[in-house]
């Protein structure tokens, strides 16, 4: 699938994750998200300090290996399951890059306030093993973190992480960019509401339903009205929130994989004034690297979801991994 040859030429993996990204995972610190493993800088990490110079040297060694024409493969083994490889393969060698963090993915806590049936990490040990606030403070002091860095906060449920408000405040005050949060939406936070008002926050909420009964089956907590009320608080307080909140619908087999449930979901979205929607598949069941094909009726449901969203003048956000899974399933 990810062939590094093109018309006889070697191709080189020019990946911004590899060069300038940090993923704070629950038990390690690495370069990439859970889509692929990527280089691991610190395994079984439980400290409050990292050496960004050491990490930079690790990155450079990977790039040297990619650029070395003695090696036929321009993709490191730890990157080969990534769904974004093809888009990042270049015919030119990778140029020098500076020791600057342009992207951070916070996923260092696995505690959650929902019990989603599709959760990729439901069997992972809960809680967190290390604090990130001291690390971020040190990165800012050393001027390693770029002012326009992309920040992605997830989990577990990041908003219930004990350091969340302090961490969010530090990043908000230092950065010039927008902070993106993946959340259950169960917990309302005024600090997030204030960030919406200043157009500095984006939130993706997996609602997955348009009614209490379906929500309960999927999330296994009775919080549908709570989430809807929280979203309403954000959108009624700021027009920015309507543009910056994305309500997501993850297809769950034999629960919400039908047109009736999709209609209920879209109706709820419209009632809240939210402008953005997204449909995904269950990655635990149809993970890209597993090459499991989705059911045939999924294609009709995706088309219907997009059609109904467009009819209601909603912006459709597409996910690379879901698109790749669908593309593979069509073959």
Q: Which residues contact 283 (CB under 8 A, 6 or more apart)?
A: 118, 120, 321
Per-residue pLDDT of the chain (331 residues; tens, 9 = 90+): 444 444 457 889 999 999 999 999 999 999 987 566 789 999 999 999 999 999 999 999 999 999 998 776 778 888 888 888 888 999 999 999 999 999 999 999 999 999 999 998 877 778 899 999 999 999 999 999 999 999 999 989 999 999 999 999 999 999 999 999 999 999 999 999 999 999 999 999 999 999 999 999 999 999 999 999 999 999 999 999 999 999 999 999 999 999 999 999 999 999 999 999 999 999 889 876 677 899 999 999 999 999 999 999 999 999 888 998 898 899 8
pLDDT of residue 34: 58
Cβ atoms < 10 Å from Cβ of 141: 9
Adjacent-strand bridge partners of 179: 151, 201
- Put simply, whether the predicted model's pTM sits higher than 0.95 gets the answer no
Q: Which residues contact 329 (CB under 8 A, 6 or more apart)?
A: 286, 293, 294, 298, 299
Closest CA to 250 of 291, 301, 208, 190: 208
Taking the C-alpha atoms of residue 283 and residue 4, their distance in angstroms, rounded to an integer, is 26
Is residue 227 within 8 Å of 185, Cβ to Cβ? yes
pLDDT of residue 35: 60
Taking the C-alpha atoms of residue 64 and residue 62, their distance in angstroms, rounded to an integer, is 5
Distance of CA 262 to the CA centre of its chain: 23
Taking the C-alpha atoms of residue 283 and residue 278, their distance in angstroms, rounded to an integer, is 14
Taking the C-alpha atoms of residue 235 and residue 230, their distance in angstroms, rounded to an integer, is 9
pLDDT of residue 143: 96
Distance of CA 274 to the CA centre of its chain: 20
Q: Beta strand pairing status for 28-30 and 21-25?
A: antiparallel
Cis status, amide bond into 247, omega within 30 of 0: no
Taking the C-alpha atoms of residue 40 and residue 17, their distance in angstroms, rounded to an integer, is 12
pLDDT of residue 309: 98
Q: Which residues contact 21 (CB under 8 A, 6 or more apart)?
A: 31, 32, 101, 102, 103, 104, 105
CA angle (100, 105, 106) in 5-degree steps: 120
What is the DSSP secondary-structure string of 49-95?
---HHHHHHHHHHHHHHHH-TTSS--S-GGGTT-TTHHHHEESSPPP
How buried is 166 (Cβ within 10 angstroms: 0-12 exposed, 13-18 middle, 19+ buried)?
middle
Residue with tokens 């600090």, as numbered in its chain: 191
């Amino acid at each position: 699938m990810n062939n590094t040859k093109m018309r006889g030429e070697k191709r080189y993996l020019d990946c911004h994750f590899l060069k300038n990204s940090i993923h704070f995972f629950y038990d390690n610190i690495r370069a990439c998200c859970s889509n692929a493993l990527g280089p691991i800088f610190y395994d079984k990490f439980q400290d409050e300090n990292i050496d960004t110079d050491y990490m930079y040297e690790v990155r450079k060694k990977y790039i040297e290996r990619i650029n070395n024409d003695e090696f036929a493969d321009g993709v490191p083994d730890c990157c080969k399951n990534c769904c974004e490889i093809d888009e990042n393969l270049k015919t030119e060698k990778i140029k020098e890059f500076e020791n600057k963090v342009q992207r951070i993915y916070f996923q260092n806590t696995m505690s959650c306030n929902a019990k989603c049936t599709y959760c990729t990490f439901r069997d992972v040990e809960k809680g967190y093993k290390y604090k990130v606030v001291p690390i971020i403070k040190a990165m800012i002091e050393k001027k390693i973190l770029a002012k326009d860095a992309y920040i992605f906060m997830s989990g577990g449920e990041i908003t219930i992480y004990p350091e969340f408000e302090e961490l969010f405040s530090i990043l908000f005050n230092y950065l010039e960019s927008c902070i993106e949060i993946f959340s259950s939406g169960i917990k309302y936070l005024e600090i997030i509401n204030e960030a919406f008002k200043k157009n500095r926050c984006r939130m993706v909420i997996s609602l997955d339903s348009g009614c209490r009964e379906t929500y309960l089956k999927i999330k296994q907590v009775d919080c549908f009205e709570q989430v809807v009320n929280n979203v309403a608080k954000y959108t009624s307080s700021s027009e920015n929130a309507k543009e910056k909140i994305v309500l997501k619908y993850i297809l769950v087999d034999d629960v919400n994989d039908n047109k009736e449930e999709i209609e209920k979901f879209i109706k709820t979205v419209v009632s809240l004034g939210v402008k953005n929607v997204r449909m995904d598949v269950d990655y635990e069941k149809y993970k890209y690297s597993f090459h499991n094909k989705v059911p045939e009726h999924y294609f009709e449901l995706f088309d219907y979801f997009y059609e109904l969203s467009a009819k209601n003048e909603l912006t459709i956000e597409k996910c690379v991994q879901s698109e790749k899974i669908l593309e593979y399933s069509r073959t």
